[in-house]
Structure 1
Amino acid sequence: MITPDLLLHAYRSGLFPMAETRDDPDIFWVDPRKRGIFPLDSFRISRSLAKTLRRDAYQVTLNRDFEGVMTACADREETWINDQIFDLYTQLFALGHAHSIEVWDDGVLIGGVYGVTIGSAYCGESMFSRKRDASKIALAWLVDHLNRCGFTLFDTQFLTPHLASLGAIEIPRAAYHQRLQDALQLDADYTAHPLADSGQDVVQRNGQTS
Structure 2
Amino acid sequence: MQYDVAAIIQGYSQGYFLMADENNHLGWYGSRDRTLIPLDNRFHFPKSLRRVINQERFSVAVNRDFKAVVDGCADRDSTWISEELKDIYFALNESGWAYSFETWQGDELAGGILGIVIGGAFIGESMFFNISEGSKVAMVKLVERLRQRQFVFFDAQMMNPHLERFGAFSIDDEEYQILLEKALQSNCSLI
**TM superposition score normalised by structure 1:** 0.86
For residue 101 of structure 1, report the CA deviation from its aligned partner.
1.3
1:21-80 per-position Cα deviation (integer Å, ceiling 9, x unaligned): 3x62x2111111111001201321211011100100122211101111000110110000
The Cα shift of 1:114 comes to: 1.2
Alignment check: 8 A CA contact 1:59 1:104 kept: yes
CA offset at residue 2 of structure 1? 5.3
Counterparts in 2 of 1:1-210, with a 5 A limit?
Answer: 3-21=4-22, 24=24, 26-41=25-40, 42-191=42-191
Matched residue count: 189
**Structure 1: which 4+ aligned runs deviate by more than 4 Å?**
none
Among the aligned pairs, what percent are the same residue? 36
Once the two structures are TM-superposed, the CA of residue 183 in structure 1 deviates from its matched residue by 1.1
Write out per-residue CA displacement over residues 82-136 of structure 1, whole angstroms, 9 at most, x where no aligned residue.
1111011111111111111111223121210010011111100000012221111
Residue type at the aligned position of 1:78: S
Paired with 1:78 and 1:110, the residues of 2 have a C-alpha distance of 21
SS at structure 1 position matched to 2:186: coil
Q: What residue is the counterpart of 1:208 in the other structure?
A: none
Separation in 2, partners of 1:61, 1:187? 21
| Per-residue deviation, residues 138-163 of structure 1 (Å, max 9, x unmatched) | 11111111111121111011111100
SS state at 1:45 partner: coil
Structure 1 unaligned residues grouped into runs of 5+: 192-210
- The AA in structure 1 aligned to 2:160 is T
- One-letter code aligned to 1:126: S
In the alignment, structure 2 segments of 5+ residues that lack a partner are: none
Deviation of 1:185 after TM superposition, in Å, equals 1.2
- Which secondary structure state, in structure 2, belongs to the residue aligned with residue 156 of structure 1? strand
- Distance in 2, matches of 1:163 and 1:49, equals 14
Q: Secondary structure at the match of 1:67?
A: helix
Secondary structure (helix, strand or coil) at the match of 2:38 reads coil
SS at match of 1:78: coil
- 2:3/2:91 contact within 8 Å kept: no
Distance 1:65 1:162 in 2: 24
RMSD: 1.3
